[in-house]
Amino acid sequence: MELKGALCYVLDFDDIYNYAHQTAAKIKESDFQPEVIVGIARGGWIHARIQCDLLGVKELFSVKIDHWGVTATKDGKAKLTCPLTGDVTGKKVLVVDDITDTGESLTMAVEHVKECGPAEVRSATLMHIAGSKFVPDFYGVEVTWAWEIFPWNFYEDLTALIKKIFEGEKVNELSTMEVKKHLREYNNVVLSDEQLSKIKAHMGYLEVIQYPLDKAWKLKE
């Protein structure tokens, strides 16, 4: 069935640990043993912390890359907004992100870290989208393009997707049943009533929809 929006997959922490273990296994089989991990904020932070645990790495630093673009778009103009937070001189460094899509984040982060005097730099992601310009040295799984809704981005992504549904439907009020149905038709996303109720509370908190909450989801004017 043709979707009205971008194909999305909702991932949970079992998926994340599954992919993280697959990534770590490939690193352990390789000739590369990192001494420092650099997590790309914000998407790479949790994966970076998990790799510290799986690989026994005690040094965890950060860089921040920001994007112009929104949830579930292929757009990806990247900008380094916070440089490396620690000293990597003479160290073997693993730069970690959640996913390679356009590859701009990792390209930029790896280039930046290489300018900071390390002995060696490699990269790792949980997921790699086939055809991405940048292929990480290590990744858990290769997938075709979809918007992957990571557990650390669940409320942000769902808020953006539901905003797009309001725009697409040209309405400013929807029932929970309608939100549920449209998420399936637009994005192939199926959510429980409990998840929907938490998203609704979140959108109220952010004042995307009217607060105090009504029975309906009413866009804030």
Residues of this chain that bind ligand ADE (CB under 6 A): 99, 101, 147-148
- Between 28 and 74, name the residue whose CB sits nearer to ligand ADE: 74
CB neighbour list of residue 9: distance below 8 Å, 6 or more residues apart: 146, 147, 148, 149, 188
Minimum CB separation of residue 151 from ligand ADE in Å reads: 12
Minimum CB separation of residue 141 from ligand ADE in Å reads: 13
- Between 92 and 163, name the residue whose CB sits nearer to ligand ADE: 163
- Between 50 and 99, name the residue whose CB sits nearer to ligand ADE: 99
- Between 47 and 91, name the residue whose CB sits nearer to ligand ADE: 47
Query: What is the rounded CA–CA span in Å between residue 144 and residue 187?
Result: 15
Question: Is the Cβ–Cβ distance between 104 and 78 less than 8 Å?
Answer: yes
Q: Which residue is nearest to ligand ADE (CB)?
A: 101
Minimum CB separation of residue 29 from ligand ADE in Å reads: 27
Question: Is the Cβ–Cβ distance between 146 and 9 less than 8 Å?
Answer: yes
Minimum CB separation of residue 168 from ligand ADE in Å reads: 20
CB neighbour list of residue 65: distance below 8 Å, 6 or more residues apart: 40, 41, 78, 79, 80, 81, 104, 105, 108, 109
